[in-house]
Amino acid sequence: MKHFASIACLSVALALMAGCQTGSTNQPPEDSRVTVNFDRPEDFTDFRDGLPGTDRGREDYEYLIREAARDEASRYLKDGQKLTITFTDIDLAGDYLPSLATGYDIRVVKQLYPPSMDLHFTLTDASGTVVKQGDRKIRDLMFMDRVSALDRQEALYHDKALLRDWIRAEFR
């Protein structure tokens, strides 16, 4: 009986830890000023954590992109404004090349594989009136020329930098 109680406690602890992982995909509170949606992310050009990719990896990437958009956009929104961004396609910087030697998929980041995002956005004021909206295809063909070696250690750095640059330019 003592052994069964230990297993039960371990199971509960593991379940709690799983919910506390970095990159948790919990949705934001409903009253968030910035809402980020992904329209059929499983069909995006390249939004995966390997060949062929996993649902968990895609969810982690959604979380990282969502948080980058919220953090940056919240700096530019006026009181009462709300922004909704819906991504319709994402092609992450780099590309996966299968590695026969190691058996692991390796994302190779080169100038040849720039980040790009297609999105629709709507900015509303406190009364719900649309202030600005549109569709954007954002790309950064010079992404490799803008970063230091330290920056490249951040997950999805190039992709989040592209998003932050667009938000600054669009809403400043």
9 lies in some domain:
no
3 lies in some domain:
no
Q: pLDDT per residue over 92-127, tens digit each?
A: 999 987 766 667 778 888 999 999 999 999 999 999
In this predicted structure, what is the pLDDT of residue 94? Answer: 93
Matching residue, tokens 């954002």: 138
Q: pLDDT per residue over 54-87, tens digit each?
A: 999 999 999 999 999 999 999 999 999 999 999 9
Q: What ranges make up the beta strands (E) of the chain?
A: 34-38, 82-91, 95-97, 106-108, 116-124, 130-139
SS3 for 132-167, per residue?
A: EEEEEEEECCCHHHCCCCCHHHCCCHHHHHHHHHHH
Stronger pLDDT, 49 or 28, i.e. the higher one: 49
Residue 39 has pLDDT above 80, yes or no: yes
67 lies in some domain:
yes
117 lies in some domain:
yes
Q: 163: which 2 tokens?
A: 């998003």
Judged by DSSP in three states, 86 sits in strand
88 lies in some domain:
yes
- How far apart, in whole angstroms, are the C-alpha atoms of residue 34 and residue 147? 27
Q: Report the CATH number that the domain containing residue 84 is assigned in CATH.
A: 3.40.50
Residue 160 has pLDDT above 80, yes or no: yes
1 lies in some domain:
no
Domains held by the chain: number: 1
pTM value > 0.85: no
Domain span at residue 99?
31-171
